[in-house]
Amino acid sequence: MSEPQPYNFAKPGRLTAEVEQRVSGWLRAAAALAAKKATRHLPFGLEMALVGLEVQRLADGLAKLPEAAVGYGVSVNGTTVNGMIALPRPLALAVLGAMLGEVGTALPDDRELTVVEQDLSEFFTSEVLVATLQETWPAAGTVPFVLRRREAHPRWTRIFAPDDNIVVCTVSLKGPFGDSEWYWLQSQKHLLEQVALAMPGGDKVKAAGQPDSVRLRLLVEELPVEVTVLLGEVELSLADLAKLAVGDLVILNQRVSEPLTASLAGEKKCKGWPGRIGSRQAFEIDSFLGG
């Protein structure tokens, strides 16, 4: 059995399972709707799909963007710019060319956008991409998404605070010109706040008049956190592993007289005892670990 990997605290943790599920569902719906909306402005259809999302430190997240990109700052549920849409510039040129009647079978060579293309690019990004992010937002109430300004160099944007973690969402786009990807980036702190408000009972934590730090704490307290309890480990040779059959017993290195260890995001937090409540398995906390 391979050794457990130590948790890397220099790397931001993943979103919780429920939050990631909600955000992924939202972006899958937005990608599908954006593809439909795009057909109103293009002489062909597009295919879009969510490729993935990950939490990154600011520098690492921005490094995923191509150096030649067209980007726009976006404000979500307020006036502060806390998100950004970015497209590789050749992809933007291919889409804009099609809007002007020039359909290519490959992505064009990179170049600066003309004044007309800049206006069309802002229109397409606002009416197709930003609009669908708003329309598919997973909550009963409307959350405004507003295109704010063009970013001259998205990879070096100053939209986000230097110590921000950002959620980088990658969406594939396929057309007659081939396959490419575009990106939606948002402040992790702001995204968590908005997702918490969208969850059942989120209206109960809208503490009017509370300072931002208190309000954010109340919101984060509502988010689920995954706790892992390690039952035990064992090392087997490949020969022994190959001989295993249904019904065989594997002796773990965990004594029944010793408490199990529970971890949060890979960090050991407490010890306790396994048990059950009714038909459900349970874990009784015996002590907390220091540090």
pLDDT tens digits, 234-271 = 888 888 888 888 888 888 888 888 899 888 766 788 89
Query: What are the tens digits of pLDDT across the range 191-229?
Result: 888 887 776 555 544 444 444 555 555 555 555 567 888
Identify the residue whose tokens are 């950002």: 166
Q: Which of 79, 185, 76, 206 is nearest to 134 (CA)?
A: 76
d(CA 190, CA 66): 24
Q: What angle do CA 23, 28, 30 make, to 5 degrees?
A: 95
**Residue 193, amino acid:** E
* Domain ranges for the chain: 17-221, 227-288
In eight-state DSSP terms, residue 127 is I
Q: How many residues does the chain have?
A: 291
Q: Tell me: domain 227-288, CATH 3.30.1860.10, correct?
A: no
Dihedrals phi, psi of 22, to nearest 5 degrees: -65, -45
pLDDT per residue as tens, the chain (291 positions): 445 554 444 567 677 777 888 899 999 999 999 999 999 999 999 999 999 999 999 999 999 999 999 999 999 988 899 999 999 999 999 999 999 999 989 999 999 999 999 999 999 999 999 999 999 998 767 789 999 999 999 999 999 998 889 999 999 999 999 999 999 999 998 888 888 777 655 554 444 444 455 555 555 555 556 788 888 888 888 888 888 888 888 888 888 888 998 887 667 888 998 888 877 788 888 888 875
**CATH architecture for residues 17-221:** 3-Layer(aba) Sandwich (3.40)
Q: Which of 279, 183, 226, 246 is nearest to 13 (CA)?
A: 226
Looking at every residue in the chain, the average pLDDT score rounds to 85
Sequence-distant (6+) residues with CB within 8 A of 31 are: 48, 49, 50, 132, 171
